[in-house]
Structure formats: C-alpha cells, structure tokens
Amino acid sequence: MKKAVLILAAVLLGWTLQAQQVFGPGEDLRYSVMYKWGAVNTEVAQASAVLDKGSWKGQEGLYSCLELRTAPFFDVFYKMRDKFQGWFLEDSLLPIHYERSTRENSYSADNIYDYDWKAGKISATLAYNGAPAEVKDIEIGRPSLCDVASLLYFFRRTAASAGSMTPGQQIPVHFVIDDEVFDLTMTYQGKEVKRIRRIGKVNCLRFSCTVLSGTLFDGKDPLMLWFSDDGNCLPMAFNAPLKIGAVQGWLSSSKNLTNPFSAKL
C-alpha cells in the first residue's frame, strides 16, 4: 500500500505540472456501444459524458453527468437506463457529492454519496430494487477516490501524464461503488495508432484497468482504454470483456473541446 501511495502521489503531482487542461466546462462527448459475441456484432446502446461548472453546498468545482441507454430493439434482451452525476473539485478531482440511478432489467439502484474528506468517510444513502433506503458510512482510507462520475476524468488526467511513463507502469485507482471501496490497477501499455469507427486512424495512448467480478464481468480480463495522444486525452475507444462476449465502444461525436483534436492522422 505504501508503494501505491507514492506512485499515486507522483501521478497527482504530474497533474499539477500540466500546462494544459485536458477537459473543461461545456465538453460534450457521445459514444456508440456495441455488443460482440461470436457472429453477433451489433450496436446496442448510446452513452454520453457531459461536463460543466458545478457547486455543491458552497464548494465550487465541476459537475459531470454520464448516461447510458440501450437502443429500443435491444431493450427486449437487456434494458439499461443508467445515469451517474458527480460534483468534484477541479484541481484534485476529489468527489464532493454523487448520485446514481441504475435501471437494468428488473434491477434498480439509487445511491447518494456525500463526501467528508476531513473525517475520511462517505455518508451513503443506498436503495435497491424498491426497498427502503439504508444510510451508512463508508470509510475512505485512501488519499484519493473515484466514483463512476469522476473516474473517466481521473483516467484522462492520468493519460495526460503518459509522457513521463514507461510501458508496464502501474497506477493505483481507488474506486467506490455501492458500499465498498476497491483498489484497482491502471497500467500504461504504450502508444498505438487506433482505427476509430467513422473517424479514422488516431494516435492513441493505450491503458488497461482491472475490473470487478460480478454479474457481467468475471474479473479475469482487463478493461482496455484508448485515449487520444493530444491535448485532450479523449477517451476514443474501450473494450470490456464480459462473462459472455464483450462490450466495445467508440467516440461518435464531441463538442466544446478544451484543445484542438490533433491526434487524427
């Protein structure tokens, strides 16, 4: 754990040394999501990541909203309506407040987190499948933490520091979901020219990240992520192996980028 803390501190220091911001208020990213299993190769969902200025109880920062919605034809097989909202500090990305609304077939989850960094805990209101909500404290116990709404931006800030990394270098990722905190690992894999659907060839930075085993994931194969090798470190594509098949996604449109998109060949 001590080594992981030192590595994370170095990454966070690298963030403060970045002359350019890789994202900012007004950014709007859209993604197409495809399910692959054998001969099945079909676009099944659309996702969005919208960032804006935000404040929560007097604390100024950023507000992010991530949404995932399956296409009507795929709702018959697996219907998803997920929304994740987060308020976090712009410089450190430390979360302040978080709200989750998950609707996946018959499963539902409604979670609210209020972060108290001085006390080192989260006050969590957790409700599942229509049952009464439960309020409990979650101990943080880490120097930083990501929820679903802030994780994407932690990844991008980390990718922006790739110039000082060597392939194989690992970065600890502390992630909270439901009522647990997990220690994951993000690994820099190197540079790659990646062909992105409807965009073409893009200079990318490739990373992998361990995933949690559960209903969809077996936890054996990592999530693969490709970020544009430019001033935006845009999430260009991802590949997530499932217990049955895999989910792939790619950037379909972007608006109000902080820097020019210069990674396209």
Q: Give the pLDDT confidence of 180-218 residue by residue, as tens digits.
A: 999 999 999 999 999 999 999 999 999 999 987 665 666
Q: What is the pTM of this model?
A: 0.90
Share of the chain above pLDDT 90, in %: 80
pLDDT at 16 over 90: no
Q: How confident is the model at residue 41 (pLDDT cuts 50, 70, 90)?
A: confident
pLDDT at 10 over 80: no
Mean pLDDT of the chain, nearest integer = 90
**Residue 91 amino acid letter:** D
Q: How confident is the model at residue 20 (pLDDT cuts 50, 70, 90)?
A: low
Domain that holds residue 139: 45-255
Please give the DSSP secondary-structure letter assigned to residue 264.
B
pLDDT at 73 over 80: yes
Residue 2 lies in a domain: no
Q: How confident is the model at residue 38 (pLDDT cuts 50, 70, 90)?
A: confident
pLDDT of the residue at 215: 54
pLDDT at 11 over 60: no
Residue 37 lies in a domain: no
Residue 188 lies in a domain: yes
Residue 92 lies in a domain: yes
Residue 116 lies in a domain: yes
CA dihedral 155, 157, 158, 164 (to 10 degrees): 160
Altogether, the residues listed in the chain come to a count of 265
Closest CA to 90 of 28, 150, 6, 176: 150
Residue 148 lies in a domain: yes
Split into its structural domains, the chain has a count of 1
As a whole number, mean pLDDT of residues 60-67 equals 98
pLDDT of the residue at 217: 62
As a whole number, mean pLDDT of residues 176-182 equals 95
DSSP string, 136-188: EEEE--SS--B-HHHHHHHHHHHHTTGGG--TT-EEEEEEEETTEEEEEEEEE
pLDDT at 109 over 90: yes
Residue 12 lies in a domain: no
Residue 8 lies in a domain: no
pLDDT at 8 over 50: no
Give the residue, 77 or 252, on which the prediction is more confident.
252
As a whole number, mean pLDDT of residues 208-233 equals 84
Q: Please name the residues in contact with 181: beta carbons below 8 A apart, sequence gap of 6 or more.
A: 138, 139, 140, 141, 142, 145, 174, 175
